Chain A
Amino acid sequence: MADPMRIRANVVGDSTEVKVLMNHEMETGQRKDAQGKAIPAWFIQSVTATYNGKTVLSAQWGPAVAKNPFLSFKFKGGAKGEKVQITWTDNHGDKRTDEATIS
């Protein structure tokens, strides 16, 4: 299992601002190791953010998203103490879900 994400969710006016820092290699498949063999691609393919069971953002990523991806977005609504969940899936089928409390 991969390392946990760092998620911060803050109420800004009538919206909630979510900032996520994921821990992932995001290997592009373009690089070669010391022996000249290509390092296989390993990257997050899809990301979903949910709040109250409703999807507030979903994304598909290619390998060109930077290592340890950062993502920030805002959605309407959200109150202190409520939870936001983020799930990612990579091209190995690995999955990770983390949640954060809105503050």
Chain B
Amino acid sequence: MNSKRRTLLQTGSGMTLLTMLAAAGWLQPGDALAADAWNAAAFDTKSMDDTFKSLGSGTPAQSKGITFTQTPDIAENGAVVPVGITSAIPNTQSIAILIEKNPNVLTAVFDIPPGTEPSITTRVKMGQSSNIYALVKADGKYYIASKEVKVTLGGCGG
């Protein structure tokens, strides 16, 4: 009985701490969109155009200021494809990764607050060979760059 009570109390206080941490991290003034609510509509889009629409980006301009790092030309395993995106565009506010031929195009959106370098690296899943697009928002405008990644399924690679 008593020990149960202890556990309950502990769990309770643990939760509160987490909530507080979350609040401390999330409720910063001027904090970007990401933490507020998960953009279900955007993540559910099935074509590039729909994704642009739901992100409100219009038709983004091609830019040479966006570079892919650590992204392979040929990925042997579509389940783990490294993607690195660096933006040289001043005042980069967010970087999104879009994979054209995935069931849902939008893969991830990173909000870059001032002071953080506009350069991120992560790993994504790809269903098949496709173009990977990097959509960068800088100064309220959208820019895009793409890179084709071939996925080897089966055969020697798979």
Interface pick from B1-9, B57-65, B117-125: B117-125
A74 to B26, CA, bound (A): 19
Question: What is the interface size of chain A, counting residues whose CB is below 8 A from a CB of the partner?
Answer: 38
- Which of A15, A50, A66 is B117 in contact with, Cβ under 8 Å? A15
Contact yes or no, A66 B116, CB < 8 A: no
The answer to whether B43 touches A62 (Cβ under 8 A) is yes
Instruction: Tell me if A55 and B125 are in contact (CB < 8 A).
Output: no
User: Are A66 and B109 touching (Cβ within 8 A)?
Assistant: no
Is A10 on the interface with B (CB-CB < 8 A)? Answer: no
Given A30-B103, A56-B116, A71-B122; A50-B109 close (CB under 8 Å): no
Chain A interface main SS type: strand
- Say how far B56's CB is from chain A's closest CB, in angstroms: 14
Dominant SS at the B interface?
mixed
CB interface residues, B 13-64, toward A, < 8 Å: 18, 21-22, 24-26, 28, 31-35, 38-39, 43
Query: A38 CB to closest chain B CB, in angstroms?
Result: 12
- Contact yes or no, B121 A71, CB < 8 A: yes
Minimum CB–CB distance for A49 against chain B, Å:
8
Contact A65 B124 (CB under 8 A): yes
Residues of B within 8 A of A65 (CB): 107-108, 122-125
CB–CB A62/B113 < 8 A: no
User: Is the beta-carbon distance between A72 and B21 smaller than 8 angstroms?
Assistant: no
Cβ contacts A to B, 26 pairs, < 8 Å: A15-B117, A46-B38, A50-B25, A53-B25, A54-B28, A54-B113, A55-B31, A56-B115, A57-B116, A58-B31, A58-B34, A59-B109, A61-B108, A66-B122, A66-B123, A67-B80, A67-B125, A71-B120, A71-B122, A72-B120, A72-B122, A73-B110, A73-B116, A73-B119, A74-B119, A97-B18
Which 5 A-B pairs have CB atoms at the shortest separation, nearest pair first?
A58-B34, A66-B123, A50-B25, A75-B116, A64-B107
